[in-house]
Chains A and B, each alone.
Chain A
Amino acid sequence: MRLLLVEDNHELADWLAKILRRDNFVVDVLNDGEAADQALSLETYDLVILDLGLPRMGGMQLLKRLRSRANAVPVIILTANASLDGRVAGLDEGADDYLAKPFDIAELEARIRVQLRRSARRPDPVITCGTLAFDTNTRLFRLGPEPLALTPREHAVLEALLIKAGQTVSKAQLSQSIFGLDDLADPSAIEIYVHRLRKKLEGSDVRIVTLRGLGYLLQHAH
């Protein structure tokens, strides 16, 4: 799951990103509206956390432009303006949720989960494929009764595959999900992560199938 955090206070943005990365999200941080607008038109995100008081391009304008491109990515507004008018204006402009600063991290996390569940149209917080289960609340994988220990990159790849279990996920899509803006996106690295994941899934009823020239597919082997 790849999130974009747009917040002009560098420190707040950095510390928030640290916490979200601990939750196994891939997080991109941008500090001004124009850069965020550019990133949103080039990259694929699963969710955007948006501050309104941004330099160069305000959060509301950014949101307007985003929706005018028919981009339906869930947006949570994070702002110091706690007024009702601000809330209504933000939601009317196409935001999915609105959180006033200062906020409780746990609440932000919960709201992120709600938006991700909603956009995936999955009311059940636990996603399963065979004995492999991913709890979107704790953001941890389980294989049978045992927790499955993964590196952040492995986690990102497996999450992307599990969400689309039974469907082909292209290398490009995987790359969008696991590499942040600051990472050197190396498609060949994906093969390494897939290889490691196959090892960790060995002996279970779940396997990753390679479809040459198409991508990968997570399958429940009967």
Chain B
Amino acid sequence: MRIDSLRLQLLRWLLLPLAGLVAVNVFTSWRQASATADLVTDRTLDASVRAIAEDVRIDRGVIDAIVPPVALEMFDTGHRDRVFYRVDTAAGRLLTGYPDLPLPEPPPKASAPVHFTGSYRGNDLRLAALSYPLVGATDGERVTVVVGVTLAGHAAMVRELWVGNFGQQLILLVAAGVLVIIGLGRGLAPLMRLREAVMEKGRDDLSPLPDHAVQSELRPLVAALNTYMGRVAGQMAAQRRFVANAAHQLRTPLALLSTQVAFARRTGEAAERAEALAGAEESTRRLARLASQLLTLSRAEPGSRRPRDEDIDLAQSARQVLEGLAHLAVERDIDLGLDVNAAAVTRGDGAMMREAVVNLVENALRYTPKGGTVTVTVDGGAGEAGSEAVLVVEDSGPGIPLEERDKVFERFYRVLGTPGEGSGIGLSIVREVVDGAGGTLVLGTAAAGGLRVEMRLPGV
């Protein structure tokens, strides 16, 4: 069975072994009590047989075997024990007593008593037997005296000796349990306080917990908790910044859309209304693109999702992208081309890499005037160690002035004087993706005078 409570677990680990020890202790103490009772009973039996034996005498050939009362009275301990005895000659003649009382096997020889157990008339007995020289005999004749006693007094003594001990042990066990519970309560109090500290914090409060109030064993836990909360707080802050930024970015196009609609509603001229509605349509299209770009950017941000790690064939990616954007090139009468000089393979997240290439090529197509050219070149070491996978996008557009080149990667930055279209997000997406793949991004001037974007990625 699984026990989730730390208290119960500790209690179990402390009390179960303790109970085992107590059980062993109780068993041994019972054995000791039993041995003590045996000893006491045996002493009494010894005294009894001696007293009887010393009183058997032979006088003028007549053996006189009279059992002195004291030999039997010494067993009267208030437990109604019954006492049996017999006295025999060495030849086996019963002098007095109970003739079928068990005899020791083998019969006693020396003058020290022997002890044994037996049963008589349905009673368990403890017995002692003594071979003793017959007083007054001249030929060294001996008598054998056997005395047996029932076990009530013996059992009472064992009980008395053992129960007291058992009670002490039980009290010890209960006391240990109580002390363990109290100790655990006190020991766990900082942990409980820590739990309350975690629980009572406001939902938005991710500030670190103090670690001075907990035991040294718990400090690593608090530190880990704080590190984790720090990470969560960082991600939340980045998310909040992003959402705020995104909302900010959507406001101006929305204002434009609402202005166009307002104009369309007010103007009386059909031509003006048509123009305003066409503008509104275009604004809507651009807002949709902005929204999807924002989504892509949020996915490209570090920590926003688990990036895939796969081999990316840049030539293949570029081909896919160009096929997807061919309609745009045709629409704008732009010569869009792909040159693959050598196979270029890198590692990273393929979907995000294609997204980056889409943004580069889309940018190039957008800013290149009608009739211009956009060329994508893929180059690589063809699998050689340490080689780089390179993708270059060149256009014949206006390019980006030198002093602006650092800024265009900043989010939402737009080059001054560039007409309508762009959102200022495309190159940010590209940079996030290339950074994520461990590559570099260089802006330059193309042979045709436009922009040249070079993406260098670690080869495979």
A residues at B contact (CB < 8 Å): 9-12, 15-16, 18-19, 22, 32, 55-56, 78, 80-82, 100-106
CB-CB under 8 A from B28, the residues of chain A are: none
Complex partner residue of A15 from B248, B249, B263, B419, CB under 8 angstroms: B263
Interface of B is mostly: helix
> Which partner residue on chain B sits nearest A19 by CB separation?
B263
Bound Cα distance from A106 to B265, whole angstroms: 12
Q: Which 5 pairs across A and B sit closest by C-beta, in order of nearness? A: A80-B251, A102-B254, A101-B255, A102-B255, A105-B262
Q: How many residues of B contact A (CB 8 A)?
A: 21
Complex partner residue of B252 from A55, A80, A105, A106, CB under 8 angstroms: A80
Could you name 6 residue pairs across A and B whose Cβ atoms are closer than 8 Å? A12-B256, A80-B248, A101-B252, A102-B257, A103-B258, A106-B262
Complex partner residue of A102 from B251, B267, B276, CB under 8 angstroms: B251
* 12 new A-B contacts at CB < 8 Å, known A11-B279, A55-B416, A56-B416: A11-B256, A11-B283, A19-B262, A19-B263, A22-B266, A22-B267, A78-B255, A80-B248, A80-B252, A82-B251, A102-B251, A103-B255
CB-CB under 8 A from A22, the residues of chain B are: 263, 266-267
Bound Cα distance from A100 to B416, whole angstroms: 23
**Listed residue (A12, A16, A81, A103) with the most chain B CB atoms within 10 angstroms of its CB:** A12
Bound Cα distance from A19 to B265, whole angstroms: 11
Q: Determine whether the beta carbon of A101 is less than 8 Å from that of B254.
A: yes
Q: Determine whether the beta carbon of B420 is less than 8 Å from that of A10.
A: yes
Q: Determine whether the beta carbon of A9 is less than 8 Å from that of B252.
A: yes
CB-CB under 8 A from A101, the residues of chain B are: 251-252, 254-255
B373 interface residue (CB < 8 Å to A): no
**Listed residue (A15, A16, A100, A106) with the most chain B CB atoms within 10 angstroms of its CB:** A15
CB-CB under 8 A from A106, the residues of chain B are: 262
CB-CB under 8 A from B255, the residues of chain A are: 12, 78, 80, 101-103
B168 interface residue (CB < 8 Å to A): no
Bound Cα distance from A105 to B267, whole angstroms: 14
Q: Determine whether the beta carbon of A16 is less than 8 Å from that of B416.
A: no
B259 interface residue (CB < 8 Å to A): yes
Q: Determine whether the beta carbon of A16 is less than 8 Å from that of B266.
A: no
Bound Cα distance from A10 to B279, whole angstroms: 13
Bound Cα distance from A18 to B256, whole angstroms: 12
Q: Determine whether the beta carbon of A9 is less than 8 Å from that of B251.
A: no
CB of B376, distance to nearest CB on chain A (Å)? 30
Instruction: Known contacts A19-B259, A103-B258, A104-B258; decide if A12 and B266 are in contact (CB<8 Å).
Output: no
CB-CB under 8 A from B396, the residues of chain A are: none
B131 interface residue (CB < 8 Å to A): no
> Which partner residue on chain B sits nearest A54 by CB separation?
B416
Bound Cα distance from A18 to B276, whole angstroms: 10
B260 interface residue (CB < 8 Å to A): yes
> Which partner residue on chain A sits nearest B248 by CB separation?
A80
> Which partner residue on chain B sits nearest A18 by CB separation?
B263
Bound Cα distance from A102 to B255, whole angstroms: 4
CB-CB under 8 A from A78, the residues of chain B are: 255
Q: Determine whether the beta carbon of A15 is less than 8 Å from that of B251.
A: no
CB-CB under 8 A from B279, the residues of chain A are: 11, 15
Bound Cα distance from A218 to B148, whole angstroms: 152
Q: Determine whether the beta carbon of A81 is less than 8 Å from that of B248.
A: yes
Instruction: Known contacts A15-B263, A80-B251; decide if A105 and B258 are in contact (CB<8 Å).
Output: yes
